[in-house]
Amino acid sequence: MDIKGIESGFGISGAFPSPGGAKSAAPVEGFSKYLGEMIDKVNSSQMASDKAIQQLATGETKALHEVMIAMEKASVSFQFITQVRNKAVEAYQEIMRMPV
C-alpha cells in the first residue's frame, strides 16, 4: 500500500505549495477580472441596443427586426449577469454563516 504525504499534493498539481516555496509559473486570473469583463460586455450590449433604438426612432434605419434582436440580446445578457451576481451574493452569505 502506497501512502502519499501531504506535500505530494495527492496527485493534484498546484494544490499545495511546494516545500521550497517556489511559485507557480503561470499566474491565475482572478474572478473579479473575469466578472469585470462580463459586466463590460453587458454594458456594451446595452449601449448597442440604445443606439439601435435611437437609429430606428430617427429614421436612420428601417430594420425593426435588428433593433428587436439587439434589445433581446441586451435583456438576456443583463438577466444573466444579474443571476451571476445573485449567486455570488448567496455564496458569500452562506460562507459568512459558517461557524469558525
pTM: 0.64
Residue 6 lies in a domain: no
Q: How far is CA 5 from the centre of its chain?
A: 35
Residue 1 lies in a domain: no
Residue 81 lies in a domain: yes
What is the domain extent for residue 47?
A: 28-97
The pLDDT tens digits along the chain (100 residues) read: 666 655 544 444 544 455 555 555 545 578 788 888 999 999 999 999 999 999 999 999 888 999 999 999 999 999 999 999 999 999 999 999 998 8
User: Given this model, what pLDDT does residue 16 score?
Assistant: 46
Residue 90 lies in a domain: yes
Residue 32 lies in a domain: yes
Quote the CA–CA distance of 23 and 89 in Å, as a whole number.
31
Picking from 34, 74, 33, the residue whose alpha carbon sits closest to that of residue 50 is 74
Residue 16 lies in a domain: no
Distances, alpha carbon 45 to alpha carbons 10, 38, 50, 71, in Å: 44, 11, 9, 8
Per the structure, how many domains does the chain have?
1
